[in-house]
Structure 1
Amino acid sequence: MSEVRPGHVLRVVSYNVRAFKDDTDALVDLVRMMDPDVLLVQEAPRHPFAGHRIARFAQQCGLTWSDGKRGWMSTTLLTSLRVHLHDCVHRNLVVRKGDEPRGYALATVSLPGHRPVHVASLHMSLRSDERKLQADTVLGALQPDAMPAIIGGDLNETPGHDVWKLFGQTLHEATPDAFTFPSTGPVKRIDAIFASTSLPHSQPLFALDPAQLARATDHLPIYADFDLSSLAK
């Protein structure tokens, strides 16, 4: 992590970590190589003592975890010391009784000398009839019209469907049109990052080892650098 980023650039990485069931050392190495300011996490472990594992993972990655009373959800986010974390909440999304809990983590962060932005990590339902309502809920909490916003995660659907269309009405896609699942031989694009149109973005270039990516978890990471120059105080 020797790169020195300009003071106006916020790097956001979104990653489904599959509850640390795979090669955690490989996962940590990859996160450290990508060096995010905000790491949007999906499928973090959610058993009663999982917080210790998440905190240790954050420490290994050189990041911090706000905890934020997740309850049973598996979605959270980590931040670097380079950014100021103003607040962070974890909220559930509506799912059918008996289904795996789904939710989102919503934080307000800022770079030194810049006004804040909202960032959210989400993991959507496997049921298509639930995802649009879940997306509406997250957009309502994010309020991209009131504050610039970045949202990313595992959408569990491919482009052209309801969630992509809904997010695309007020936000723009900040990640390239490339398959993200499964990591061993990607055939679907079900992960994405969206952002307010006032936040220009670019793609950082990483030499990530495909074999290491396949060992780390079953999704590929997605990432973008955001130019927050317009938010300079």
Structure 2
Amino acid sequence: MLSYNLHGLKDDRRALAAAVRQAAPDIAILQEAPRRFRWRQKSAALSRDLEMVVGGGGLPALGNLILTNLRVRVVADWNIRYPLTPGREMRGAAFVRCRVGRATFVAAGCHLSTDPSERPSQAELLKQAMREVSEPLLLGGDFNENSGGAAWRMLADGLTDAAGGDERLTFSVANLRHRLDAIFVDPRMTVLQYDVIDTPETRAASDHFPVLADLEIAA
């Protein structure tokens, strides 16, 4: 599973496509994906570039987009939106219910506010939506704060940080100072491997590095 902030697709699209295809994730949880005019067509074009298919999200999730490969069957998808603070960007989260073989799980993606006064309330709403999921759940996102922040701690509670003790930074590519991007997984999942992908392609593709986790999910 990959989690990646695409920086609004403002950077090198060829490098982005090459980086994701090389990582070959079963699921890609993306932030700052198409969310405005012709977002469906743009999301479909992005999925083709990455050799994946759209599972859920997009405009209804305010730029959170979840892609899968053909090994993953998406059986349901839904979204949540956080209340709009005047003068701020409206944000939300995407959920998809997936099956791989006999295993069923839910993947969720989010991009929290850059405003520290907004993040805890957004995290609380997202955590409530996560508690309504009975299946094993994994969450990927750009949390716009480092580990130890209030929103980060709230969302990570009861889940496993796929990074373990690996505190490599993810932002910004030009001046690494923060670990804003993470994958949290249900205790019913096993983290086999974790990586922050630092390659020439990812340095050209976005201002964030993607994070990648290899997970095992019991049937």
Share of identical aligned residues, percent?
29
Partner of 2:184: 194
Q: CA deviation at 1:202?
A: 2.1
Q: Secondary structure at the match of 1:128?
A: coil
Q: Secondary structure at the match of 2:93?
A: strand
Structure 1 residues 113-158: Cα deviation after superposition (integer angstroms, max 9, x where no partner) = 22x1111010001111221111121122122772211001100001
Write the mapping of 1:48-127 to structure 2, written as runs, cut at 5 A: 48-66=37-55, 70-71=59-60, 73-114=62-103, 116-127=104-115
Structure 1 residues 41-97: Cα deviation after superposition (integer angstroms, max 9, x where no partner) = 100132211321221110121110145562471111111110110111232122312
Q: Say yes or no: does 1:160 pair with 2:137.
A: no
Partner of 1:32: 21
Q: TM-score, normalised by structure 1?
A: 0.86
- Once residues 214 and 24 of structure 1 are traced to their aligned partners in structure 2, the CA distance between those partners, rounded to angstroms, is 12
Stretches of structure 2 that go unaligned for 5 or more consecutive residues are none
Q: TM-score, normalised by structure 2?
A: 0.91
Cα separation, partners in 2 of 1:41 and 1:205, compared to 1, 3 Å: closer
Stretches of structure 1 that go unaligned for 5 or more consecutive residues are 1-11
Q: Secondary structure at the match of 1:179?
A: coil
Q: Say yes or no: does 1:42 pair with 2:31.
A: yes
- Once residues 173 and 161 of structure 2 are traced to their aligned partners in structure 1, the CA distance between those partners, rounded to angstroms, is 21
RMSD: 2.0
Write the letter of the residue equivalent to 1:16.
Answer: N
- The answer to whether the 8 A contact 1:95-1:130 is kept is no
Q: CA deviation at 1:168?
A: 2.9
Q: Say yes or no: does 1:130 pair with 2:118.
A: yes
- Once residues 138 and 87 of structure 2 are traced to their aligned partners in structure 1, the CA distance between those partners, rounded to angstroms, is 30
- The answer to whether the 8 A contact 1:144-1:196 is kept is no
Structure with bigger strand share is 2
Q: Say yes or no: does 1:181 pair with 2:164.
A: no
- The answer to whether the 8 A contact 1:70-1:90 is kept is no
Q: Secondary structure at the match of 1:203?
A: strand
Cα separation, partners in 2 of 1:32 and 1:84, compared to 1, 3 Å: same
